Amino acid sequence: MLTILHGDNTLLSRNFLNHLIDQAKKKQLSVIRLTGTGFQIDNLVNALEPGLFDQKKLVIIDDFQKFSLQDQKNIAQITKKLSPQTQLVLWGNKKLSAKTLNLFPKKQDRLFRPDNKVFVFLDSLKPDNRENSLKLLDQILTKQEIGLVFHLLVGRIEDLIIIKTGHQDQLKKAPWQKSRLIKQAENFSLPTLKNFLEQLILLDYQQKTGRLFYSLEFGLELLIAKL
């Protein structure tokens, strides 16, 4: 059986993956994890081969979004011969493209989306709407992981910068999404957006290196209050 776990809500997808691993161990399945680092298709072929006494297996391919298209195609070919005794899970930390998903016609597709309120928060961002944005941020952080919110916020600011620099054709978005982003970008100057992105990157660096003397949540609130 092939299962694909993907989407921006990595907290939920990781929790689900850990649940599958726990269940496999309880059933005494052999658990094998593969990553893109030094990956060779033979690694997967060997992992999928029947074990001693036809022992059932759980094979996990981590960070599938990082694999090249050719590797993804090769993996897709291998999965066509997947033994019923083996569970194969592909995990990605973002929504996989339709082109990638279509490589695997026989699959269980589980997409983990963020709460819609996260996008309401992102859409609310503009200089004259700070108070409302902060209220929305406070609400979503009671349900969503700060890392996910931070990741999506950085992506939104990058999109707005792309629009401000006149390169909206590079955005792989639906027409209605582009229209909303263009309208939102009108509320900002390019220097403001670039400075905000730089501050976000600095905040992330300080947090990851232990140089942030307050919570990431509070740091985010400070930046939004200064928009």
SS (H, E, C) 111-137: ECCCCHHHHHHHHHCCHHHHHHHHHHH
The count of C-alpha atoms lying within 13 angstroms of the C-alpha of 32, restricted to the half-sphere facing its C-beta, is: 19
DSSP-derived secondary structure for the chain? -EEEEESS-HHHHHHHHHHHHHHHHHTT-EEEEE-STT--HHHHHHHHS--GGG--EEEEE--GGGS-HHHHHHHHHHHTT--TTEEEEEE-SSPPPHHHHTT-SS-EEEE-PPPHHHHHHHHH-SGGGHHHHHHHHHHHTTTS-HHHHHHHHHHHHHHHHHHHTT-GGG----HHHHHHHHHHHTTS-HHHHHHHHHHHHHHHHHHHTT--SS-HHHHHHHHHHT-
- pLDDT value for 173: 82
Cβ atoms of 135 and 154 within 8 Å: the answer is: no
pLDDT the model gives residue 52: 55
The domain boundary residue, chosen from 111, 127, 142: 111
201 and 102 assigned to the same domain:
no
pLDDT tens digits along 19-63: 899 988 888 888 999 988 888 898 888 888 876 556 788 999 999
Q: Which CATH number goes with the domain that contains 33?
A: 3.40.50.300
Phi (first) and psi of residue 58, to 5 degrees: -120, 115
Same domain, 7 and 106: yes
In the numeric block, the tokens 């978005």 are attached to 173
Residues 125, 45 within the same domain: no
Q: Which of 109, 101, 113, 120 is nearest to 5 (CA)?
A: 109
Residues 96 and 185 in one domain: no
Work out how many domains the chain is built from and give that number: 2
Tokens of 64: 């599938």
C-alpha 22, offset from chain centre: 22
Residues present in the chain in total: 227
Q: Tell me the whole-structure pTM to 2 decimals.
A: 0.66
Which residue among 95, 111, 127 closes a domain? 111
28 and 10 in a common domain: yes
User: Domain of 52?
Assistant: 2-111
Do 12 and 80 share a structural domain? Answer: yes
CATH number of the domain bearing residue 148: 1.20.272.10
Q: Which of 87, 111, 135 is the last residue of a domain?
A: 111
Regions in the chain scoring below 70 on pLDDT: 51-54
